[in-house]
Structure 1
Amino acid sequence: MTKPKVLISDKMDPNAARIFEERGCDVDVITGETAEELLVRIGEYDGLAIRSSTKVTPEILDAATRLKVIGRAGIGVDNVDIPYASGKGVVVMNTPFGNSITTAEHAIAMMMALARQIPQANAGTQAGEWPKSSFMGVEVTGKTLGLIGAGNIGSIVAARAQGLKMKVIAFDPFLTPERAIEIGVEKVDLDGLLERADFITLHTPLTDETRNILSRESLGKTKAGVRIVNCARGGLIDEAALADLLESGHVAGAALDVFQTEPAKESPLFGMPNFICTPHLGASTTEAQVNVALQVAEQMADYLVNGGVTNALNMPSLSAEEAPKLKPYMALAERLGSLVGQLAHGNLPKISVELEGDAAELNPKPITGAVLAGLMRRYSDTVNMVNAPYLAKERGIEVREIRNTREGIYQTLVRVTVATDAGDRSVAGTLFGNAKDGGGARLTEIFGIGIEAELDGDMLYIVNDDAPGFIGRIGTLMGENGINIGTFNLGRRQAGGEAVLLLSVDQPISQEVAERAEKVEGVRFVKPLAF
């Protein structure tokens, strides 16, 4: 049998090539090629191992007639066109946990540098100034560290900070009380963290929920004299607002390893005496680069030789026999999970996935993985059907799978129930007609109210009083704002009681329109949705 052939196109630890060879692959290491050169060469290979330099464009993928898998040694995959790769049947993998310790240590190093003004003191000393009287630092012992994000990296930072005798508080929507106790932090809301923290460090991906999480308004709520560290993602902080608060002295210092625009050639923060920065060095240690190189080689070789799938961003862990039957159920499950994730915010300690009727005869793991991927995508930009269960376990979320073969109203049903601070919340869906690729997926129940709707594209969810004239008022509002309605889906508990409305629309609902909808007579709650 012909061995799979792999190209390593970016510089990485030489042991990666050894692992490929030991596990039954032929490997070429050819780095530094232009896009044109790679375009000519790529058709020879079954696997492509990259870091950040190689750009995997549609043109490259079109030429990669044999390619089965792309492996990114690291987390970010901005240099890979994942949707196009999926369309070409190419699996895209990354190594999301290989540089966790390194990034956490960099955050701690930046915090210590801020506390003692080490870069500034070093510059003055080397300039022959001996500026001893110019620098008065602060101790970290006894200070309160606020973590925004308490996942894999955040929990490592917490452990290191506790070793420095700091008190650690954390804001993370998925941090359960049990997990908080386990890692020794106090779970707080964001405002509580901003008011109490002497140091704030961010460890969250950049999503719609976290973009500008430290906005001008949020920064204004921080404790006077706070010091802020970001070694996570650019875009989490309003850099102009941070510069203003540094200049006023409200923020005593800031340390950034990441910027909204990179490479950062200019910034309102540059040149400030109480600001230090590094050029995205969070993962730049010998150990981390070795780890991610070895991991990507192991994952790719396992897939090419044995068919195993680990940390894939566009493919669940499925056998060839299961895939055709499970694919439409997974599409339905992901949409149900996404719906819950967008509506049921706050602490979610328990999630149950119940399969009823025909669905109960299937392997529940991929379906549960799809639910979790949809649920957590609002809070993580690297979550997928493979690593979602791991991320849920890491955060202490209890996941239950229930099979129920009884005959109900529907021949097949998937129900997702989450435990929230306000009690259990449940959504359910089924498959109708031609369910290939999720095309027949339908919502059948939302929070105890029966409703039939497709979950697709941009939508608007409204909870309202069931009363005459309401539909007309909402329709008029959409028309006045130039929003075309695709479908109008209604449900209610009883006549004259609580009702729900799901609108599919042809463009995203702006915050301004959502706020106007909230003011319509009879409206109780409004939430724009996207699938």
Structure 2
Amino acid sequence: MNTKNIKILHLDSNHPLLWEQLEKLGFENHQDYTSSKEEIEAKIYDYQGIVIRSRFKINQTFLDKATNLQFIARVGAGLESIDCEYAISKNIHLIAAPEGNSNAVGEHAVGMLLSLMNKLNQANQSVKNGNWLREGHRGHELEGKTVGIIGYGNMGKSFAKKLKGFDVKVLCCDILPNVGDQNAKQVTLEELQQKTDVLSLHIPWTPETDKMVNEQFINAFVKPFWFINTARGKSVITADLVKALQSGKILGAGLDVLEYEKLSFEKLFEGEKPEAFTYLLEAENVLLSPHIAGWTFESHQKLAQVIVDKIKKIYFPIDETAELKRVTGIGGFFFKANDSKRLVEWYGKHLGLKTDQYGSTFWWKDKEGNDCSTQWSPFAADTTYFSPSEKQFMQNFRVENLEALLEKLKQEGVTIVGDFETYDYGKFGWILDPEGNKIELWEPIDSAFQ
């Protein structure tokens, strides 16, 4: 496609690779980081694409004036600042990049949780004030606790993955079925509220999640719990959260987002501070950060790359007439074991497998001479990763273009389980065969295992 006729207006600054790679693809880049929304509306008819973070809301008025718009790319996880339904009705592609900062959010959530439970912020300030109070800063261990995650998409999965080494039980709750994996067991909201010691939100802001965490919601939890929110502030009624902190129902709160944030996320309210916010500022068991969970140097680059890749996919689609490669090799053999750790040690000792905590990696070369890996991994007997299959094993196949293959399989009537996921060692998707056996498809980055 001739992309020289495609003009893109960048409304916020982003990592330079976004601009540079779009330019190399032939797009014409323009920027305007300072004009008012009305001034942008006056010229938006001249553009086919928009790249934005959260500068202002893209509503029907804006979209009606964007008569030639083909896509809106938001360099972030959510699309709540865009009238999505109206944009889709105008055949405008909507692009977000939750894959780009999910790792950062997962790490930030773990950091907040550990700081809260171990009173690190209080201890730090106390020592800097000249005190040495050990008993007053005695903390709690995460081991043995049950962590509940509401919202099990990119962010929730990232948080659960980070918890693997803490010997905790992880439960997840989501509006979509069959999203649980080896890192979290999917349960109902009621079961999560019965068992949770730690609650972490990873949900988008929608009409269904607006003010979701209220007094009734909080009181439905059987046990007092720690609360982490790195999702959206408007999902929580702050006054009800404060009541729960005062009563001890919530043991501590780590809040990267606040109800009072402006839609742009760039500042808080203007004027007098709400009473509930004043409490949060003064409470020792509350940890606050300014909406930076996904705001790392690494995610800055990853977000930009995801946006480029998704724009490229719109204008340079895969040739549907070309034969699509499907399975290219065995990616892994996974099976259930009563004592997976002991089994890994046995195979390492007696059969000489080079093992780690996950199993063993076998290396081989394809016909082009590329290094390829295949994983051998025993899983715990009670794993939910094979679900909904009831078999004791699960196959993993290597593929070359996972997204295209999943789309093709969907057209062929194959059951897709959950959404594909991206990690630093490749992309993953899951399907079911006619007997209900779950199969993992892997588009690998083999070098991550070397």
- Matching of residue 306 in structure 1 with residue 312 in structure 2: no
Return the offset for 1:158: 1.7
Task: Give the distance between the partners of 1:195 and 1:57, measured in 2 at CA.
Answer: 41
Distance 2:151 2:85 in 1: 28
SS for the counterpart of 1:92 is strand
Establish whether residue 45 from structure 1 lines up as the match of residue 47 from structure 2: yes
Which of residues 293, 301, 306 in structure 1 aligns to 2:304?
Answer: 293
Secondary structure at the aligned position of 2:98 is classed as: coil
- Please state how far the C-alpha of 1:285 moved relative to its aligned partner: 1.0
In structure 2, how many angstroms separate the alpha carbons of the residues matched to 1:12 and 1:150?
A: 27
Query: Does 1:101 find its partner at 2:112?
Result: no
Per-residue CA shift, 1:51-108, capped at 9, x if unaligned?
1114434444344343322211112223333344345443322223221111111111
Distance in 1 between the 2:195 and 2:259 partners?
26
Letter in 2 for 1:51: R
Q: Which residue pairs with 1:232 in the alignment?
A: 231
Q: 1:282 aligns to what SS in structure 2?
A: coil
Deviation at 1:288, TM superposition (A): 1.4
Alignment of 1:68-79 (within 5 A): 68-79=70-81
- Could you say which structure has the larger radius of gyration? 1
Secondary structure at the residue paired with 1:140?
coil
Residues 10 and 50 in structure 1, CA contact (< 8 A), matched pair in contact too: yes
Q: Aligned partners of 1:396, 1:15: CA distance in 2, in Å? A: 28
Letter in 2 for 1:67: L
Of 152, 158, 161 in structure 2, the residue corresponding to residue 159 of structure 1 is: 161
Q: Aligned pairs, how many?
A: 333
Distance change >3 Å, CA 40–CA 170, structure 1 → 2: closer
**Paired position in structure 1 for 2:353:** none
Q: Assess if the C-alpha contact under 8 Å between 1:7 and 1:47 holds in 2.
A: yes
Match of 1:192 in 2: 191
Which residue does the alignment assign to 1:327? none
Change (3 A) 1:308 1:208: farther
Q: Is the 8 A contact 1:233 1:258 kept in 2?
A: yes
Which residue, 9, 16, 27 being the options, matches 2:11? 9
**Contact 1:42–1:64 (CA under 8 A) maintained in structure 2:** yes
Distance across 2 between alignment mates of 1:9 and 1:274: 38
Separation in structure 2 between the aligned mates of residue 298 and residue 189 of structure 1, nearest angstrom: 35
Cα drift, residue 251 of structure 1: 2.2
**Is the 8 Å Cα contact of residues 101 and 302 (structure 2) preserved in structure 1?**
yes
Q: Specify the alignment match of 2:32 in structure 1.
A: 30
For the 8 Å contact 1:113–1:119, the answer to whether it is kept is yes
* Residue identity in the other structure for 2:230: C
Q: Report the counterpart of residue 215 of structure 2 in structure 1.
A: 216
Q: Is the 8 Å Cα contact of residues 8 and 51 (structure 2) preserved in structure 1?
A: yes
From the superposition, tell whether residues 119 and 349 of structure 1 become closer, same or farther in structure 2 (CA, over 3 Å).
same
CA–CA separation in structure 1 for the residues paired with 2:246 and 2:103 = 33
Measure how far apart 1:164 and its partner are: 2.1
Give the corresponding residue for 2:245: 246
Assess if the C-alpha contact under 8 Å between 2:23 and 2:29 holds in 1.
Answer: yes
* Structure 2 unaligned spans of 5+: 263-267, 322-386, 390-405, 422-427, 435-450
Identity rate, percent: 28
Following the alignment from structure 2 to structure 1, what is the Cα–Cα distance between the partners of residues 417 and 305?
20
Deviations 1:442-478 (A, max 9, x none): xxxxxxxxxxxxxxxxxxxxxxxxxxxxxxxxxxxxx
- Partner residue in 1 for 2:125: 123
Shift of 1:30: 3.3
Question: For residue 279 of structure 1, what is the aligned residue in structure 2?
Answer: 290
Question: In structure 2, how many angstroms separate the alpha carbons of the residues matched to 1:192 and 1:66?
Answer: 49
- Taking the aligned partners of 1:97 and 1:12, their CA distance within structure 2 comes to 16
Cα 1:205/1:138, change in 2 over 3 Å: same
Alpha-carbon displacement from aligned partner over 1:127-152 (angstroms, at most 9, x marks no partner): 44455443221111232222223333
TM-score under structure 2 normalisation? Answer: 0.63
Structure 2 CA distance, aligned partners of 1:164 and 1:213?
29
**Separation (CA, whole Å) in 2 of partners of 1:39 and 1:111:** 43
Counterpart amino acid of residue 232 in structure 1? A
Once the two structures are superposed, residues 164-215 of structure 1 have per-residue CA deviations (whole angstroms, 9 ceiling, x without a partner) of 2222233335453xx64x4243443333322322222122334455455544
1:97 partner SS: helix
1:32-60 deviations in whole A, cap 9, x for unaligned? 22224323443332221111114434444
Mapping of residues 160-175 of structure 1, within 5 Å: 160-175=162-177
Distance 1:99 1:129, change over 3 A: same
For residue 400 of structure 1, report the CA deviation from its aligned partner: 8.6
Instruction: Out of 214-223 and 112-121, give the one that drifted further.
Output: 214-223
Asked if structure 2 preserves the Cα contact closer than 8 Å seen for 1:17 and 1:29, the reply is no
Gaps of 5+ in 1: 310-317, 320-347, 351-363, 373-387, 402-531
Q: What is the CA-CA distance between 1:17 and the residue it aligns to?
A: 0.9
Question: Residues 45 and 167 of structure 1: is their aligned pair in 2 closer, same or farther, counting only changes over 3 Å?
Answer: same
Q: Distance in 2 between matches of 1:153 and 1:267?
A: 31
Question: For 2:235 and 2:82, how far apart are their aligned partners in 1?
Answer: 23
- The 1:103/1:40 distance shift into structure 2, 3 A limit, reads same
Q: How well do the aligned residues superpose, as a CA RMSD in angstroms?
A: 3.7
